[in-house]
């Protein structure tokens, strides 16, 4: 069977659904295909089931890309307020959790249902469980094949996402398609992902598993002050996930476990004022008890503070204010929220999301070398880039 559409979109995730709605609203005959049985799974499981769908502080500096200016146009063509208005139109209740992060009050599935309804209203034809076996350009048109079926179109939008969480449908198809059409590609890596460590630090993480505290985690000049969590696999929590998008294998990260206090200054003053105080008790007043105990043990300090040299106090203070550790890796795509890298943005028009070399071929969402910070920015990129492609496809 051969069918002809104006626009075909591969991938019915956040970006694909948005582009389908917009192209459909323009009266284009749109086919949206996905290999999954369930549509919008990533949206459904996101934000702990409540979907952190955007951020009120949205700004181009919240995105990582080889070309940092690339996102400016799309983010201004479709802003966080545009998506908030869509949510309001559908009467979906939401709240700000922290730092401008907006979540549904009830269920993330409401966002999926809203997008599917908008698709229906825009006459988008949605086909699930389509396994694409071939794609190319023929007679001046793009086509995709699924077994014996062949679908032709004027505009092909690739919205296949990244490589994270393969068990809910991530594939390399978008990257393969880009390769076929000679587009440059930026190496991919798991991002917004927990970090793993050598035996010694892992043992400490296991012992402290479940403990969380506010910390400043930095890599070179980039730093994040948010929650950090010890787990039985290493370190996680927002500050670690954020820094994982910047950290390079083989390099150290720096952690300040007590960002508000200069521990050395405090200990020197305590030594003068209350020389008989037990060091363990002092540190336990500053940090959670379990962590305080481990740090004192690791630094071999115990007893009255008056009996401890300033050198030893400095060493202990540094392990709190400037804890330098060397991650051995990350938990990988299995748990990563996003994929760093992807289709080189220099290959794509930032105004339209169309390939510069291949008119009619568009790339949107996470498949492109654009990665947002934690906090709703990745969905905003999907909505904005999807909207833009929908205007031009």
Report residue 62 CA to chain centroid gap: 11
Q: What is the DSSP string of 138-178?
A: ETTEEEEEETTEEEEEEEEEE----SS-GGGT--SHHHHHH
Report if residue 238 touches ligand FAD, rule: CB under 6 A. Answer: no
Residues 332-371, one symbol each (x = binds ligand FAD by CB under 6 A, - = not), give -----xx--------------------------xxx----
User: Is there a contact between 143 and 137 (Cβ–Cβ < 8 Å)?
Assistant: yes
* Closest listed residue to residue 354, CA positions, set 67, 156, 69, 66: 156
Residues 114-133, one symbol each (x = binds ligand FAD by CB under 6 A, - = not), give ------------------x-
Report if residue 378 touches ligand FAD, rule: CB under 6 A. Answer: yes
Number of H helices, E strands in the chain: 13, 21
Of the residues 42, 44, 271, 373, which one makes contact with ligand FAD according to CB under 6 A: 42
Report if residue 30 touches ligand FAD, rule: CB under 6 A. Answer: no
Of the residues 25, 45, 225, 261, which one makes contact with ligand FAD according to CB under 6 A: 45
Q: How far is the CB of 323 from ligand FAD (least distance, A)?
A: 28
Q: Report how many residues bind ligand FAD under the rule CB under 6 A.
A: 36
Residues 158-197, one symbol each (x = binds ligand FAD by CB under 6 A, - = not), give -xxx--xx---x-x-x------------------------
User: Given the complex with ligand FAD, which of 25 and 172 has the nearer CB atom?
Assistant: 172
Of the residues 382, 388, 389, 393, which one makes contact with ligand FAD according to CB under 6 A: 382
Q: How far is the CB of 183 from ligand FAD (least distance, A)?
A: 16
Q: Where are the alpha helices (DSSP H) in the chain?
A: 14-25, 41-49, 71-77, 80-89, 109-121, 173-180, 199-207, 238-244, 263-273, 279-286, 289-298, 310-321, 377-392
Strand, coil or helix: what is 341? strand
Report if residue 226 touches ligand FAD, rule: CB under 6 A. Answer: no
Q: How far is the CB of 69 from ligand FAD (least distance, A)?
A: 20
Of the residues 7, 15, 23, 201, which one makes contact with ligand FAD according to CB under 6 A: 15
* Phi then psi dihedrals of residue 131, to 5 deg: -100, 110
Helical axes 14-25 vs 109-121, angle rounded to 10°: 30
In the sheet with 52-55, reading across from the earlier edge strand, the strands are 52-55, 101-104, 94-96
Of the residues 7, 8, 9, 10, which one makes contact with ligand FAD according to CB under 6 A: 10
Q: How far is the CB of 347 from ligand FAD (least distance, A)?
A: 17
Spatial separation of the C-alpha atoms in residues 370 and 388, rounded to whole Å: 15
Cβ-proximal residues to 286 (8 Å cutoff; 6+ apart), any chain:
258, 261, 263, 266, 292, 320
Residues in contact with ligand FAD by CB under 6 A are 10-16, 33-36, 42, 45-47, 51-52, 132, 159-161, 164-165, 169, 171, 173, 337-338, 365-367, 376-379, 382
């Amino acid at each position: 069977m051969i069918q002809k559409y104006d626009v075909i979109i591969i991938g019915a995730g956040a970006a694909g659904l948005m582009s389908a709605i917009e192209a459909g609203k323009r009266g284009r005959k749109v086919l949206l295909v996905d290999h999954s049985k369930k549509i919008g799974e990533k949206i459904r499981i996101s934000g702990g089931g409540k979907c952190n769908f955007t951020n009120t502080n949205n700004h181009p500096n919240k995105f990582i890309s080889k070309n940092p200016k690339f996102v400016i146009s799309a983010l201004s063509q479709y802003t966080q307020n545009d998506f908030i208005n869509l949510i309001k139109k559908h009467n979906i209740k939401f709240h700000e959790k922290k730092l401008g992060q907006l979540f549904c009050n009830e269920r993330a599935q409401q966002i999926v249902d809203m997008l599917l309804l908008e698709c229906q209203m825009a006459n988008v034809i949605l086909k699930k469980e389509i396994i694409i076996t071939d794609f190319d350009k023929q007679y001046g048109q793009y086509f995709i094949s699924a077994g014996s079926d062949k679908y032709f179109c004027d505009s092909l939008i690739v919205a296949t996402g990244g490589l994270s969480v393969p068990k809910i449908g991530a594939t390399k198809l978008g990257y393969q398609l880009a390769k076929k059409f000679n587009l440059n590609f930026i190496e991919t890596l798991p991002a917004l992902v927990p970090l793993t460590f050598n035996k010694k630090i892992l043992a400490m993480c296991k012992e402290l598993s479940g403990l969380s505290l506010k910390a400043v985690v930095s890599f070179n000049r980039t730093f994040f002050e948010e929650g950090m969590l010890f787990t039985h696999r290493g370190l996680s929590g927002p500050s670690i996930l954020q820094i994982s998008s910047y950290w390079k294998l083989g390099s150290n990260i720096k952690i300040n476990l007590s960002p508000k206090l200069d521990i050395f200054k405090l200990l020197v003053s305590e030594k003068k004022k209350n020389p008989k105080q037990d060091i363990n008790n002092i540190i336990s007043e500053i940090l959670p008890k379990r962590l305080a105990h481990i740090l004192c043990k690791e630094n071999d300090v115990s007893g009255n503070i008056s009996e401890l040299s300033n050198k030893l106090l400095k060493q202990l203070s540094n392990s709190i204010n400037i804890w330098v550790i060397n991650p051995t890796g990350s938990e990988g795509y299995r748990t990563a929220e996003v994929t760093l890298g992807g289709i080189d943005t220099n290959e794509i028009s930032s105004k339209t999301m169309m390939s510069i070399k291949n008119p009619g071929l568009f790339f949107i969402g996470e498949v492109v070398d654009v990665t947002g910070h934690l906090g709703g920015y990745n969905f905003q990129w999907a909505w904005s880039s999807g909207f833009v492609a929908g205007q031009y496809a």
